[in-house]
Every structure is written in structure tokens, then in C-alpha cells.
Amino acid sequence: MTKSKYNRREFMKTGLATIAINEFGVSNGLVSTLQAAQTDKPLKKGKGRPNIILFFTDQQRLSALGAYGKTVCKTPVLDKLAAEGVLFENAYTSCPLCSPARASLITGQHIHAHRIGANTYEFGCNVNELPDTPALLPRKLLAAGYKCGYTGKWHIGNKTSLPSSVGFEGVDFPGHGGGGFGYPQYKAYLKKHGYTHRVRKHATDGVKIRNYGVLEDVVESCVPYYLAENTMSLIDQFSDTEEPFFIWHNNWGPHEPYYVPEKYYAMYKDVEIPQWESYRWKPENPYGPDQLKRHPNHDQLQWEDWAESIRHYYAFATLIDEQIGRVLDHLEKTGMADNTIILFSSDHGETLGSHAGLTDKGWNHYEEIQHVGMIVKDPRPGRQGGQRGKRVDKLVSTLDIYPTVLEYADAGYDRRSIHGRSLVNLVEGRETRWRDSVFVEFFGLGNMATNMVTCRHGDIKYGYTCSNKDELYDLARDPHEMTNLIEDPSYAHMAHMMRRRIYTFMVRTNYPGVNNFRLTRLGYSNERQYIHGPDPVDVNSFLVKDMEI
């Protein structure tokens, strides 16, 4: 079979989406919040400002990033990016779930503010189509004179909200996408070049825990390669204009299904996968929310059953890493690398058998799903202040991407209506006041709802679950979170202080469940005052006055 050379400009003729604006509001107050009084700087247009590319992966745990510690997973491109840029050691997702995390990135707000509280069109998701407002990240960038490009997974709208309807150019992929295989644009790409998408049948020996397989065609046929072509097409298109550009490059992986060409699986086929420290851990609370994600056959499974899934998962991460490298190489060839800031992060992590056979994400407070990678490289001379290869241990969040991108673009934003902080000072090595606590929210998954908030302060981590037992971990002593200290008398004061921090977060950000938390975790009842008169305890005494979030 003859494979034709891929022409990116021809691709854009069939795949380019047009820009349209949808003006609509929602009754929950999101639009009015996002459209609060602006504190924009004067806009500057032209090539003097940097281009910006954000590489975003789906469900990538830290063990699938070589730069984050000892692992058999190979990610040389991202490792090099970390060696040339700044790596954030303690980065956390806003929510360990796809749609809410993505909506937080594009709005700069916590989940309870933008109200995409679960995956779109699931029970518990108050807003199923991301509203188009002037405060969305691409709208702010367009107003500042930037071109905005998008490719890959969207998952914050199926109908009225698509990348093209909120200011992006590129290709629209509505909804979740399930790996990206079913979209007509991808099928047209396969047909044009004589490629196929065929997955080799899995061998019958062993137990197949997750959905994985080997692709029978060449690497050029796979979705990550196709997405890299899309982004390189956008770079070529934008290079013909005077405006700088921002591109958000989204992968569908390494979220399952873990489909990779043979050469990537071959890298791991005979590799021994170290057993997770928490794999044989016995759950302290058999009725905890994490049971919803425990593999039903965990007691019968062997570690090797999980290891084979992990081999395919790591192979997928390596494939994606290589495609990111192709885009970076293209920047070099076009002469734009020296003026293009690169950011990398993920929407959340993945369990893959840790903590006694958990699968997927959500329904727990563990590091595997909340702690994500975050790397920033500013190649412009002197901009990193000698920070090449520096590792920053500050508590950061995927919420910080919104203000970071806008500061690099010299675009203003209303600091009062967002919950993130710009990372630019940290990247450049300048002294700056920073948060002392970071928060993660979760409201449900799979048409089931809950109310969970995680707070990390220093090495202490508190997990609040509204209808279940709370959790407290000392990450310095227990990095794999296997000993819940919530009832340990020696940690009682720390637990109370962490509850106060969560309460302060709720009050400051207008969290909808604050009254329930105040009653069940702090023992303060508004209703009791109607019966017994004023409560002797001042509710404001629970607030941590000097807390930075």
C-alpha cells in the first residue's frame, strides 16, 4: 500500500472550523460572574508577544511521566521539556474528572462556580454546554490580538458549545469522543491516505482488565499522529499572519482504550512492571466512596493481570510523547521555537489497580488521580531567570493555567472572578506571595452524585466526603496514603485546622455545601439559633484569616 505525503494545508481545507458566537446565559449565575467588572490592561497587538502552545493529556498519572521520578515509562520529549523549562512538583487538578477539569481550565474557576459538575449530559452536571462569554480564555486572547487554535478532545459541549463557537479555529470534535476514532474528519484522513484503524484481537491467555490492544497499521494511522498533524497545520496557517497565536492541543490519551502500534507495545512487552505500593492495601473503610471504582474481581486478580494493562498504558503515553515531539520539531523548523512558550499538563490522573484494585478516576482523594504533571518552558532569553531544569515545590493547580496564559499574552482578566494564580513569577524565579493550600473538588461520575473536597496544606491532606467518613493523610510519613489518621488523637488538632481551611475555602468561593459542612464537621447550626437563641460560638472564628488559596 502506498502512503501519500500528508499536506497540512490541504487538511485544513476539509477540517477547518469556522468561528461563530453563541450568546446564551444560564440561571446559575455563571455568566454574570464571568462578566464581572474587568481589570484589563491596554491591548497590544503584533508579533512582539510570544506564541503559546498548551499540550494537554487525558488521564495521565505521574508514573507515566519520566521527569517525575523513577518509572519504566519512557517520555523523553517531556523529560527534555522539563530539563529546559520549569517543572512543578506539586500540581493538582481542579477535579479528577474530564468535563469539570476542562471547564475549569477555560474559565479559571472552580467547579462549583462554572457548574459543569460532572461529565456533560450525566446526572449531576448542571451545565451541559459551556456558555460563551467574553471572559472565556479564547475570548480574552482574541480580544488581545491573538489567533486561537484547537484540536482534539473537547468534552464541554456536544451541540451549541464547540471550539469554533467560543473563538477557536481548527477542527470541532463534539462530546467525549471515545478515543477519537469515530469522527468523520479522522475517517476522511484515513481514507485519503489509505490507512486503516484495526485493532489486533487480544490473546486469550490472561485476564484483560482494561480496554487495550495493538493497532495493525502504521503510526501515521493513529489518532495522536493525526492530532499532531492538525496542530502543525494550525502553526503553518497562523505563521502567515501578523498576530501571535495560542493553540490548545488535546489528546484523547492515555485515557483508555490504550491502542498503540506494535513498535510502542514492543518497548514494554517484556518489561517487568513494579507493583504499586498500595496494591495489596486493605481498605480501612469498606463502605467508602472508592468502592464504586474497585474492580469487582480484585480478590481473584493477579498483579500480572494489571501489569499487562499498564504496559499498554505506558506505551500509549510514549506514543503521545513522540507526537508532542513532532510538533516541537516543527516549531524549530519554522523558526518559531524561540518565541513560543510551551505548557504541559493533564486533566487528572489514573488509578490502574492502586489502592486495592481501583480503576479509572473519581470517588477518592488519592494522589494517583489528583496529582498531575505541570511543566512550563519560556525559551525567550532571560525570561526563566536561569531557571532551566528547576523544580518548584509550591502547591499549584490546573486553575493556574488560565491566568498564566493570559499574563504571557499580556491580556487582562478580572482577578476577582477566577480562582487560579499566574505561574509566571514562579517560572521566572521571582519572589511572590503564594497559596499555602490547594483544593480539589468532585461532585460525581457515571450518573451518580456526591460532594467531595480535598485540601492539601504542606504535607497534610484532608479529604471531606459529605455522606461518609473523612480522611486525613500525612504525605511525609505516608506518601501512598495507606493510613487514615482522621481518628488518631495525635492528629486531632491538625484535623480540626484542616476542616477550618476547607470551611474558609467554601466561604471565600461561595461553595454550595458550606452550611452542611459547617453543621456536620464544625458543629455549628444556623437552625439551632431559632430554638435556643444566639449561638455562643462566633461562626467567623472558624475562618483562617491569613490563608492563601
Task: Check whether residue 455 and residue 404 sit in a common domain.
Answer: no
Q: Looking at the structure, tell me whether residues 457 and 527 fall in a common domain.
A: yes
460 and 372, same structural domain? no
Same domain, 196 and 63: yes
Grid cell listed for 259: 491502542
Report the pLDDT value the prediction gives residue 28, as an integer from 0 to 100.
38
What is the DSSP secondary structure assignment for residue 272, as one 8-state letter? P
Whether 428 is covered by a domain: the verdict is no
Q: Flag whether pLDDT at 206 surpasses 70.
A: no
| Residues 469, 527 within the same domain | yes
Q: What is the pTM of this model?
A: 0.91
CB contact at 8 A, 338 and 47: no
Same domain? 371 vs 502:
no
Q: Is residue 458, in this structure, part of any structural domain at all? A: yes
CA distance 440 to 301: 31
pLDDT in tens, 436-445: 999 999 999 9
Residues 403, 488: one domain?
no
Say yes or no: 88 and 233 in one domain. Answer: yes
d(CA 10, CA 436): 50
Domain boundary among 361, 385, 420: 420
CATH code, domain with 415: 3.40.720.10
Same domain, 270 and 371: yes
Is 538 inside a domain boundary?
yes
Q: Give the contacts of 515 (CB within 8 A, at least 6 positions apart).
A: 526
Question: Of the residues 402, 420, 438, which one is the last residue of a structural domain?
Answer: 420
Within a domain: residue 178?
yes
Q: Is 434 part of any domain? A: no
Q: Which of 404, 420, 436 is the last residue in one of the domains? A: 420
* Distance, CA of 73 to CA of 310 (rounded, Å): 10
Amino acid code (one letter) for 492: A
Residues 233 and 110 in one domain: yes
pLDDT digits (tens, 9 = 90+) for 460-519: 999 999 999 999 999 999 999 999 999 999 999 999 999 999 999 999 999 999 999 999
Residue 459 is part of a domain; what is its CATH number? 3.30.1120.10
Determine, yes or no, domain membership for 229. yes
Q: Using 50, 70 and 90 to split pLDDT, how confident is the model at 201?
A: confident
CA pair distance 88, 68, nearest whole angstrom: 9
Q: Do 389 and 485 sit in the same domain of this protein? A: no
Q: What is the pLDDT of residues 354-381, one digit of tens each?
A: 999 999 999 999 999 999 999 999 999 8
- Check whether residue 454 and residue 384 sit in a common domain: no
Establish if 29 belongs to a structural domain. Answer: no
pLDDT of residue 34: 38
Q: Cell for 492? A: 486531632
Domain count, the chain: 2
Domain that holds residue 526: 447-542
Of 270, 254, 149, 165, which Cα lies nearest the Cα of 212?
254
Asked whether residue 166 is assigned to any structural domain, the reply reads yes
Phi and psi at residue 171, in whole multiples of 5°? -120, 130
Distances (CA, A) of 446 to 124, 158, 176, 181: 9, 17, 13, 22
